[in-house]
Structure 1
Amino acid sequence: MTVLSIQSRVSFGHVGNSAATLPLERLGRDVCALDTVRFSSNPRYAGWRGTVTDPAELRGLIEGLDALPDEAGGGLGFVRAVLTGYFGSAAQVAVAAEAVDRVRRRVPGAFYLFDPVIGDYPAGRYVQPGVAEAMVDELLPRADLVVPNHYELDHLTGARTTTRAEVIAALDRLASMGPEMAVATSVRVAETAPGSVEVIAVGQAGRFRIETPLVPAHFSGTGDMFSAVLLADLLAHRDLARAIRRAVAATYAVVEASRNMGGAELALVAAQDLIVTADPDGVAVHPL
């Protein structure tokens, strides 16, 4: 089962496709990765270099995949799910929407996980003007599952959420715009215990939350890894609660291992076995 992953690529560190590909592969998914940007590193490092993929080039790559012969899968007929993340320009968003439509023409019912990469707290927005707006117009209505972090949830719905009830209402608003399921990560609200962070979900499995200790370290790419693990497990079992527990367990284990190793980036390669072995049974689900 192949995932078409459309997001960023860095040479140093693990964000975007550089964070999503290995977890998907370790969990048994082939990955067809298309890069929206090619950067030397996360732009938070001074001196970074790189380019934004021209939308015409991105479209050409998708058309090339869709032209594959039958013995190679019959165009995009080999794809069973689409994952999107960071976009370098608003024009790329329309190309990604076309890609979702192309895949679904080949494979009706193909799953689409939309990770609306916009920014985070406390850094704020870090995508180019027009990208977030294009994602709302083009991608949100096509999504089966949307996975914003707390900042992105607030940005997409236009209001600061400070309680669980407000987060649930915002997720319901997103779900009413297309997706069947909506999951907010990195949530910290009035009810969140000190030193903790929450994932809150609404969907076919009901409404629930998961709370984990907040690791005292920041690593870019954790959201990209989380979405990849979530998608891989959801494709296998079609159980949102189970998939979130798996993604929470794996992400927490890799982040904690990375902190113990003392590096500036996710130790994704060194800690890759934890993606598979982290125990989701130890993650408690609280109905809402």
Structure 2
Amino acid sequence: MKRVASIQDISCLGRCSLTVALPVLSVLGVECAVIPTAVLSTHTIFPDFTCRDLTDELLPIARHWQSQQVHLDALCSGYLASPRQTEAVCQVFDLLRARDTLVVVDPAMADHGRLYKPFAPDFPQYMKKVCARADVLLPNLTEACLLTDTPYREEADEAFIRQLLKKLSALAPRVVLTGVSFDEKRLGAMSYNRETDRYFSYFNEKVPASFHGTGDIFTATVLGGMMQGRSLEQAVALAVDFTLECIRCTRADPEASWYGVEFEKALPWLAKRGAEEMKQG
């Protein structure tokens, strides 16, 4: 069984971060070890949430694992709460990365054209250091613009996205841009491989709704799909389809909470789809 380490926060209420990564990866047959960066009472959309920063615990955890000769097939980082934390995560990567360890980075720091509230304007410069250690980088459009010092555009055509992906490839050899849409009916992702100079795109239905935590679902599915032996392109297609299925399940429930996607209802779909695709080779 493949073993990965997920480096991000635990939100005690609200479906995101580690509470999403753990079950999604488990359903895909991947062991998920965790390095929690913080413990929050809820995710950050809730008012007056509490937060216990765990930056001082990151390196001791990594050093203990190193002393026990723990091998990781992948390392994956998500939301990081401060410049100091980005520096610590870079050190964790350096300590635990073996030659065959895949490093995946979701630079979760912004959306809809602006940084998340806790971050200062210079935070993307610190996140760039984390991204530069990635084999696979998965930003959304806002994060991609911030990482490349590109003025943000709400409406982005294919030429703009291709240019943005090439800029991002200066940070990581394989880049996946999430939340890509070129018309009113389709939404998906587009990737670029610096080594082969090839683009890839995959789209599915565009649902007129927005939910917190879909980026975490997407990243965990891409990671799990690659650990099952899929190519990055195949894993991206699986992630687009699964994220859509999660949204469909949530929209179908009139009692659904506003603070998260009911991804649990879609996990049987993911298990079945994952098993079928692996049988087909």
* TM-score category (smaller protein): 0.7 to 0.9
TM-score w.r.t. structure 1 length? Answer: 0.86
Describe the superposition over 1:77-97 as per-residue Cα deviations: whole angstroms up to 9, x where unpaired. Answer: 2x1100000001111111111
- How many equivalent residue pairs? 266
1:171 pairs, out of 165, 168, 182, with 165
* Matches of 2:103 and 2:39, distance apart in 1: 23
Structure 2 counterpart of 1:259, which letter? R
* Matches of 1:10 and 1:242, distance apart in 2: 30
Structure 1 counterpart of 2:201, which letter? R
Deviant stretches of 4+, over 4 Å: 278-282
Partner of 1:121: 112
* Matches of 1:256 and 1:280, distance apart in 2: 21
1:88 pairs, out of 81, 88, 93, with 81
Cα gap change, 1:260 to 1:280, in 2 (>3 Å): farther
Describe the superposition over 1:171-210 as per-residue Cα deviations: whole angstroms up to 9, x where unpaired. Answer: 1111123x2211101124xxx1114323111114821222
Shift of 1:272: 1.6
Are the counterparts in 2 of residues 251 and 275 from structure 1 also a CA contact under 8 Å?
no
Shift of 1:6: 0.4
Report % sequence identity: 22
Structure 2 counterpart of 1:255, which letter? I
Structure 1 counterpart of 2:64, which letter? G
Partner of 1:14: 15
Map 1:1-288; keep pairs closer than 5 Å: 1-53=2-54, 55-68=55-68, 74=69, 76-77=70-71, 79-104=72-97, 107-121=98-112, 124-126=114-116, 127-129=118-120, 130-136=122-128, 138-159=129-150, 160-161=152-153, 162-177=156-171, 179-188=172-181, 192-203=182-193, 204=196, 206-262=198-254, 263=256, 264=258, 265-278=260-273
Are the counterparts in 2 of residues 9 and 37 from structure 1 also a CA contact under 8 Å?
yes
TM-score w.r.t. structure 2 length? Answer: 0.88
Cα gap change, 1:196 to 1:142, in 2 (>3 Å): same
Shift of 1:281: 10
Are the counterparts in 2 of residues 249 and 279 from structure 1 also a CA contact under 8 Å?
no
* Matches of 1:131 and 1:256, distance apart in 2: 34
Gaps of 5+ in 2: none
Cα gap change, 1:279 to 1:23, in 2 (>3 Å): closer
* Matches of 2:57 and 2:229, distance apart in 1: 35
Shift of 1:278: 4.3
* Matches of 1:108 and 1:219, distance apart in 2: 37
Are the counterparts in 1 of residues 6 and 33 from structure 2 also a CA contact under 8 Å?
yes
Are the counterparts in 2 of residues 249 and 280 from structure 1 also a CA contact under 8 Å?
no
Partner of 1:286: none
Are the counterparts in 2 of residues 84 and 113 from structure 1 also a CA contact under 8 Å?
yes
Describe the superposition over 1:190-233 as per-residue Cα deviations: whole angstroms up to 9, x where unpaired. Answer: xx111432311111482122222222222211111111110111
* Matches of 1:170 and 1:176, distance apart in 2: 10
* Matches of 1:273 and 1:109, distance apart in 2: 30
What is the Cα-based RMSD across aligned positions, in Å? 2.1
Structure 2 counterpart of 1:214, which letter? K
* Matches of 2:188 and 2:263, distance apart in 1: 22
